[in-house]
Amino acid sequence: MAASYPRELQIQFDLRVPMRDGITLSADIYMPVANQGKINRYPVILSRTPYMKADVSLENAKYFVRHGYIFVSMDVRGRGDSDGDFVPYFNEGRDGYDAIEWCAEQPWSDGNVGTIGASYGGRIQWLTAVERPPHLKAMVVLVPPSDPFVETPTGTPSPMHLCWLHLVSGRALQSMDVVEWEQVYQHLPLVTMDERVGRRIPSWRTEMQHTQLDSYWEPLCYQQHFERVEVPALHISGWYDDEQIGTPLNYVGMTARGANAEARAHQRLLMGPWGHDTNASSKLGAVDFGPQAIIDLRAEQLRWYDHYLKGQTVEVGAPVRIFVMGRNEWRDEHEWPLARTQWTPFYMHSQGRANSRFGNGTLTRVKPDAEQVDTYLYDPADAFPFITDATSSQIGGPDDYASLQRRDDVLVYTTEPLEEDIEVTGPIKVELYAASSAPDTDFMAMLIDVWPNGLRQRLCDSMVRARFRKGMDKPELIEPGQIYHYTIDCWNVSQVFKAGHRICIQITSSAFPKYDRNQNTGEPLGMATEIAVAEQRIYHDAAHPSAVILPIIPSN
């Protein structure tokens, strides 16, 4: 069926947009039909994408054109119809600057340019904003990745990152279904994992040469440069976005360190019960968040642009709007984290056998005294799994970990059934005291809502790699047998644990294939094939009070 365009829409295909180095990028321009040949000037919304400009923007383009905007959809360098070589992210700041200034100079532009984009298209807006293009007036940033190693603090790219690199190899999108990804993820050494895909992927191998935060990564670091950004930004993500951590970090960073008071005041955070595909469905995995989970997201974006690109006096909403899961309702707030948060440690306890959900691990607000240590064996050849589809389009969700918690290589600490509802909204951190028989290993923490019917719903999680306990720029192996204090940033959540439910934290040493397996040998990352079994020891006593710190929101 032929595409249906609104009568007022006209399109100019494949306009060549010059970059400062002589390369030209391809843009399609969606605009209102000229009135009797007269060229009217409109504000411009620019979308830059590696996913083929013709495929991802039509609905957005039609919507914004109807509301008095020019919509520009552009293939990034080396993708689609654009010239040059595609090196993920490294050219995007300069190219974004040049594209914005080109848009501002066109006869159909009134000089006010906004940007929009998700995921890759979100991160490159930030890389562009720190370059300070003069005509960039507003951004709508959805589900952006963070700086290197924030999402994957392992020193190596996630095995599932290889799916994405395969997808964007060449100039057109590649087929994902022809690759047996589960087999690919098992390959060692990591550096040659691309061979199991069936192609050599230079970006994968280059990243494997830079397994700590060094000067190579500096061009991709934007979160340390918010003082250079003076653009109003609408920050959008979901609690189950697999790159969720970046959105609240960016909101907090801009409200605290934006270039000036005006920029700091004109930020907005919107977090829904969604995955990486924002606002797509009210149901994820086994959990249905109700019809109210889906909102008119384009209308939210339109109000943002009308206010900051057209100068209209429209209400753009409270600074923070969050969906509170469990209660399944939207709520407006004024800051993030919430000022009324009560940061509450829930301490891990056991009689030395917290292994599996059938063990004796408990979670209480009482600080531990003298208690036995918990131990388990971590075998990279039989790594504890992370529940996810095989490809990287959505990594994890509100999945049920009941069956996996039958394993002995996971420690499970759980409260008694709650007597009343408890709201947990904000960043989640785990303070863990642990020792290992290995010179390097991993520790994973996951927050879980245990339902009365037995469902064990994943809420949020993350990990620490022992050699990076002091920072991604300071790798240092550990001394086997020595106790270390680790802080695990488990990202953010807004969840009401209902009366009768239980709060659970699980500790293990892998979440495969979300993260690569630590091989426990201490050898250079990504290059080794040998593996070793590690004995892990988790301490929870007066001197080592392992705990999860929950941001509890009082009910009154």
Residues 20 and 142 in one domain: yes
Band of pLDDT at residue 247, cut at 50, 70 and 90: very high
**Residue carrying structure tokens 């959540």:** 493
Q: Give whole-number Cα distances, 191 to 13, 102, 163, 204, 447, in Å.
A: 40, 40, 14, 7, 32
Residues 276 and 148 in one domain: yes
Q: What is the pLDDT at residue 35?
A: 60
For residue 263, the number of C-alpha atoms closer than 13 Å in the C-beta half-sphere is 22
Asked which of 288, 311, 333 is the last residue of a domain, the reply is: 333
Q: What is the pLDDT at residue 127?
A: 98
CB under 8 Å to 148, separation ≥6 — which residues? 213, 217, 220, 221, 472
Residues 90 and 38 in one domain: yes
Q: What is the pLDDT at residue 2?
A: 43
Tokens of 390: 């095989």
**Is 4's pLDDT higher than 80?**
no
CATH number at residue 487: 2.60.120.260
pTM of the complete model = 0.96
Q: What is the pLDDT at residue 5?
A: 43
Q: How many domains does the chain have?
A: 3
Tokens of 284: 């994820």
CATH number at residue 285: 3.40.50.1820
CB under 8 Å to 61, separation ≥6 — which residues? 9, 30, 71, 73
Please give the share of the chain, as a percent, with pLDDT higher than 70: 98
Band of pLDDT at residue 36, cut at 50, 70 and 90: low
What is the C-alpha separation between 504 and 494, in angstroms, rounded?
A: 15
Residues 242 and 201 in one domain: no
- The per-residue DSSP string of 46-77 comes to EEEESS-HHHHSHHHHHHHHHTT-EEEEEEPT
Give the mean pLDDT of 439-448.
Answer: 98
**Residue 404 main-chain phi, psi, to 5 deg:** -70, -25
Q: What is the pLDDT at residue 55?
A: 80
User: Exposed, middle or buried, 182 (CB in 10 Å: 0-12/13-18/19+)?
Assistant: exposed
Sign of the dihedral through C-alpha 83, 88, 89, 91:
negative
**Residue carrying structure tokens 């009082």:** 554
**Is 6's pLDDT higher than 90?**
no
> Within 10 Å of residue 523's Cβ, how many Cβ atoms?
15
What is the C-alpha separation between 33 and 61, in angstroms, rounded?
A: 14
Q: Under a CB-based contact definition with an 8 Å cutoff, are residues 108 and 42 in contact?
A: yes
User: Exposed, middle or buried, 420 (CB in 10 Å: 0-12/13-18/19+)?
Assistant: exposed
**Is 1's pLDDT higher than 70?**
no
Domain-located, residue 166: yes
CB under 8 Å to 261, separation ≥6 — which residues? none
Residues 415 and 405 in one domain: yes
Q: Which residues are catalytic?
A: 119, 241, 276
CB under 8 Å to 27, separation ≥6 — which residues? 14, 15, 16, 17, 53, 72, 73, 74, 75, 99
Domain-located, residue 3: no
Q: How high is the mean pLDDT of the chain?
A: 96
Residues 545 and 445 in one domain: yes
Structural domain harbouring 193: 157-210
Q: What is the pLDDT at residue 256?
A: 98
pLDDT tens column, 402-443: 999 999 999 999 999 999 999 999 999 999 999 999 999 999
Q: Under a CB-based contact definition with an 8 Å cutoff, are residues 444 and 508 in contact?
A: yes
Domain-located, residue 500: yes
Give the mean pLDDT of 475-489.
Answer: 98
**Is 357's pLDDT higher than 90?**
yes
**Is 3's pLDDT higher than 50?**
no
**Is 286's pLDDT higher than 90?**
no
Please give the share of the chain, as a percent, with pLDDT higher than 90: 95
Across 312-332, b (16+ Cβ under 10 Å) vs e yields: eeeebeebbbbbbbbebebee
Return the ∠ at Cα 271 (arms to 270 and 276), rounded to 5°. Answer: 115
Amino acid at 189: P
Q: Under a CB-based contact definition with an 8 Å cutoff, are residues 410 and 536 in contact?
A: no
Residues 19 and 151 in one domain: yes
**Is 376's pLDDT higher than 70?**
yes
Nearest to 161 by CA among 122, 206, 130, 118: 206
Q: Under a CB-based contact definition with an 8 Å cutoff, are residues 319 and 326 in contact?
A: no
More confident: 556 or 287: 287
Q: What is the pLDDT at residue 556?
A: 75
What is the C-alpha separation between 423 and 451, in angstroms, rounded?
A: 15
Q: What is the pLDDT at residue 34?
A: 76
Residues 194 and 264 in one domain: no
* Beta strands 70-75; 42-49: pairing state: parallel
Nearest to 461 by CA among 378, 403, 398, 554: 398
- The per-residue DSSP string of 188-199 comes to SSGGGHHHHHTS
Could you give the angle at which helices 92-105 and 120-129 cross, rounded to 10 degrees? 80
Residues 408 and 298 in one domain: no
Domain-located, residue 294: yes
Give the mean pLDDT of 515-521.
Answer: 98
Q: What is the pLDDT at residue 54?
A: 85
What is the C-alpha separation between 76 and 94, in angstroms, rounded?
A: 11
pLDDT tens column, 155-205: 999 999 999 999 999 999 999 999 999 999 999 999 999 999 999 999 999
**Residue carrying structure tokens 């306009």:** 15
Residues 58 and 70 in one domain: yes
Residues 401 and 273 in one domain: no
Q: Under a CB-based contact definition with an 8 Å cutoff, are residues 319 and 328 in contact?
A: no
Domain-located, residue 1: no
Q: Under a CB-based contact definition with an 8 Å cutoff, are residues 64 and 3 in contact?
A: no
Residues 174 and 264 in one domain: no
Tokens of 554: 């009082």
pLDDT tens column, 122-156: 999 999 999 999 999 999 999 999 999 999 999 99
Tokens of 239: 């609690």
CB under 8 Å to 181, separation ≥6 — which residues? 160, 163, 390, 391
What is the C-alpha separation between 513 and 161, in angstroms, rounded?
A: 10
> Within 10 Å of residue 468's Cβ, how many Cβ atoms?
22
